[in-house]
Amino acid sequence: MQVTVEDVSPVEKKLTVSVPWNAVDTRMGEAFRELTRSVQLKGFRKGKVPRSVLERMFGKRVRAEVAGQLVREGFVAAVTEHKLQAVSEPRVEDAPEIQSGQPFSFTAIVEVRGDIAVGEWKGMTLGRRPLVVGDDAVAMALEQLRREQTELRPIEGREELAATDIAAVSIKGTIGEHQVDRPQMPVDLSEPEREPLPGLAAALIGLPIKTTDQRIELTIPADHPDPDLAGRTASLTVSVLDARQKDVPELDDELAKDTGRAESLEELRGVVRKELEARMELDIQEEVRKEALAELVKRNQIPVAGSLVERSIDSKYARLRQLFGMSPDDDRELDGELRDKLRDSAIDDVRGQLLLDAVATQEGIEAADEDLDDRVARLARSQSQAPGRLRADMERDGRLDSLRFQIRQEKTLDLLVQHAEVTEREPASAPEMAAGEAAASEAASEAMGPRPDEGAPAEPAASAETADAPAPHENDETDAAESK
């Protein structure tokens, strides 16, 4: 087999492959012998059908199958012999049928990563916002801690719901022309700003704790931010399934001790501030990394293979489908207009990946086993799992290699930042790649239309804090969201 490779572009190669007739004839003989063993024809014993008969009846199919095999083998030989970093299947331009006594030749175009020569990447000028945690942020975090320590107690000494309660209710009825049927929904009567429907908490306050099939009507304000709810009337039948009184602790030294993190409120305030600063530091580091990557791409407008861009677009579309809550059964396909809107950010994504890989290779950056062990251990702690079990699960699912790749990228980004001039300032604008991503998502949003849950208010949504909370009788403590 003879293989020649020509440059078409920095990311495309033209392969010319020629297979001598004797090799082709051998493959044809193997194909017909295999066919003889499996085919049954009237008048012939199995395995005894003459090749001339098989060629007359199945020759065209066999020649096509052998030609396909030779194309695949020729591609593998070209990639191996010439060390091509192919990123797509070959696009065959000229593959004639197999002719008796003639070499089988074909030409194909294959996309490759190309040689990536990274320009000067040291000395970038990057911005870093100041690490400042305000008193308001600390106060909000402390309030969240206070909520987490809330206990739900049985209601004693009264028969009606009060503003200090949380109730589990069932709701049936309509909101405008839309049907509503929620067998169980928690409603925190002490926080009407988080209620699933405007006015629902107020309507429940004062009702008997054992209310059954109580009809209520709510008028949604015309200025409600959800246009599908604004100005509509909700006609509902409500039953109270259970109710508990919220016992919210005072923000004092006793609360600090109950958290197990401090002995006094002042000490707890300091602990919380340090935690918020640590989280903000991680956010700032990620922002600087993104800006460094955007600058690297800006300095190195390398050509990229179209197939890599198309795969990046497909990946972006898959993330958008998930973001928009699209069902896997939704067969809405990625049309040409939407592809075009995602293309620019996809090209920069691919450039960024290739450039980071090139810098990592140039600088000898790898994800060491210790790095991987440390990351798995951290993930295991955050998920309350044993590190060994998590590692085994990740290895079985193929996620371990992805994690190693991610660590290598992070180390490369950190190297870019280390060699950059980082000044503490509010960035004038979002990094270009992030801005491009946001623009692409906005354009995609317009092209894809409203999310499935935006089309009609079929059911009132529970508040963020209580959406997945159990009914009060199932748990005597409120679900605690992580403090931001």
Q: What angle do CA 362, 363, 369 make, to 5 degrees?
A: 115
What CATH fold (topology level) applies to the domain 151-247+451-484? Chitinase A; domain 3 (3.10.50)
CA neighbor of 186 nearest in space, from 458, 457, 474, 454: 474
Q: Which residues pair with 106 in a beta bridge?
A: 17
Residue 331's pLDDT band (cuts 50, 70, 90): low
C-alpha distance from residue 253 to each of 222, 268, 273 (Å) = 45, 9, 17
CA-only gyration radius of the chain, Å: 33
Selecting from 3.40.50.300, 1.25.10.10, 1.10.565.10, 1.10.3120.10, what CATH number does the domain 280-449 have?
A: 1.10.3120.10
| 160-174, 410-424, 437-451: range with lowest mean pLDDT | 437-451
The tokens describing 402, both together, are: 């992805």
Contact 350, 116 (CB under 8 A): no
Contact 108, 402 (CB under 8 A): no
Q: Is the pLDDT of residue 263 over 50?
A: yes
pLDDT in tens, 393-422: 999 988 999 999 999 999 999 999 999 999
Residue that is written with structure tokens 């290895």 in the block: 395
Domain ranges of the chain: 2-111, 151-247+451-484, 280-449
Cβ within 8 Å of residue 84, ≥6 positions away? 5, 13, 78, 110, 112
User: What is the CATH code of the structural domain delimited by 2-111?
Assistant: 3.30.70.1050
Q: Is the pLDDT of residue 193 over 90?
A: no
Residue 380's pLDDT band (cuts 50, 70, 90): very high
3-class DSSP assignment, residue 110: strand
pLDDT in tens, 420-430: 999 988 644 44
For the entire predicted model, the pTM comes to: 0.68
pLDDT in tens, 30-68: 888 888 777 777 777 677 777 777 778 887 888 888 888
| Helix residue ranges, H only, 86-185 | 135-148
The tokens describing 158, both together, are: 């009264």
For 347-376, give one letter per residue: b (16+ CB within 10 A) or e: bbbbbbbbbbbbbbeeeebebeeebbeebb
